[in-house]
């Protein structure tokens, strides 16, 4: 068990553009801070810069809303072009109430607006979630490990979600590589002799949320290094964190 965990925010990155080599930009920013990435580190990378590098951007001026998007716009007051993009990115709408639209994305994620985001993009352009966040994480991980030579790290792609039962938002892991998303205590015995039956910790989400403390929304710190956490090294997948519909009381 790690008794001390360090979180290092990585700033100084330029605006990311489609086609940029994220691994190189991240390593340059880390070196610019006078630190280095080490074996066993977890690199948390915000979805927004991944989506920008992968060209997951849509200019709303080029979007023609469908009749469904226009009907939804009349109920919500939102831009019908934005709603058209949200519908394209959705497997289904889970709930729509007033101006809130909760969608199940094609990845299986349940979140507001199917992850379509207007912040930190500008110019009438919106960003979409990466098509395969796990593959995005693995590409960054493999490239950094190759450039650094001999180290093994984990990479988490994070995004900000709301939560049932709770106010406010928190970062969660939508993609990962190099670590297990969970830490399972089921079957272990606590100090009082009680056998744990349901204690499975979503450590990838916990690390994503912790990293957001140094990233924040307006700080232009899109990457964080988490150091000192003893995670289970594995191929890993953000899909481990998606609750199956038959066990989800909210769907």
Query: Domain boundary at 112, 127, 142, which?
Result: 127
The CATH number for 15's domain is 3.30.1330.100
> pLDDT tens, 75-108?
999 999 999 999 999 999 999 988 889 999 999 9
Domain housing 86: 57-127
Same domain, yes or no: 221 and 145 = yes
Same domain, yes or no: 226 and 140 = yes
Residue-averaged pLDDT of the chain? 91
- 3-class secondary structure for the chain? CCCCCEEEEECCCCCCCCCCCHHHHHHHHHHHCCCCCCCCCEEEEEHHHHHHHCCCEEEHHHCCCCHHHHHHHHHHCCCHHHHHHHHHCEEEEEEEECCEEEEEECCCCEEEHHHCECCCCCCCEEECCCCCHHHHHHHHHHHHHHHHCCCCCEEEEEEEEEECCEEEEEEEEEEEECCCCCEECCCCECCCCCECCCCEECHHHHHHHHHHHHHCCCCCCCEEEEECCCCCCCCCCHHHHCCCHHHCCCC
> pLDDT tens, 4-19?
999 999 999 999 999 9
pTM (two decimals): 0.92
Query: Domain boundary at 101, 127, 153, which?
Result: 127
For the chain, the domain total comes to: 2
pLDDT at 52 over 80: yes
> pLDDT tens, 135-188?
999 999 999 999 999 899 999 999 999 988 899 999 999 999 999 999 876 666
Same domain, yes or no: 121 and 135 = no
Same domain, yes or no: 108 and 166 = no
């Amino acid at each position: 068990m790690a008794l001390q965990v360090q979180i290092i925010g990585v700033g100084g990155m330029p605006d990311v553009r489609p086609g940029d080599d994220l691994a190189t930009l991240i390593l340059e920013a880390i070196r610019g801070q006078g630190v280095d990435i080490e074996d066993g580190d977890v690199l948390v990378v915000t979805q927004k810069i991944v989506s920008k590098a992968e060209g997951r951007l849509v200019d709303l001026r080029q979007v023609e809303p469908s009749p469904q998007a226009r009907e939804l716009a009349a109920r919500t007051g939102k831009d019908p072009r934005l709603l058209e993009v949200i519908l394209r990115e959705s497997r289904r709408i889970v709930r729509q109430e007033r101006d809130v639209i909760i969608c199940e994305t094609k990845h299986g994620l349940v979140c507001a607006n199917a992850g379509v985001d207007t912040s930190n993009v500008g110019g009438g352009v919106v960003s979409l979630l990466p098509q395969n966040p796990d593959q995005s994480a693995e590409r960054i991980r493999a490239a950094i490990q190759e450039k650094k030579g001999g180290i093994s790290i984990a990479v988490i792609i994070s995004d900000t979600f709301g939560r049932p039962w709770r106010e406010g938002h928190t970062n969660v892991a939508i993609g990962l590589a190099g670590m297990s998303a969970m830490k399972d205590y089921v079957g272990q015995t606590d100090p009082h002799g009680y056998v744990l039956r349901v204690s499975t910790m979503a450590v990838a989400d916990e690390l994503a949320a912790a990293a957001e403390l140094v990233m924040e929304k307006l700080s232009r710190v899109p990457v964080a290094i988490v150091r000192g956490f003893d995670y289970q090294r594995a191929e890993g997948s953000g899909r481990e964190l998606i609750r199956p519909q038959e066990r989800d009381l909210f769907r």
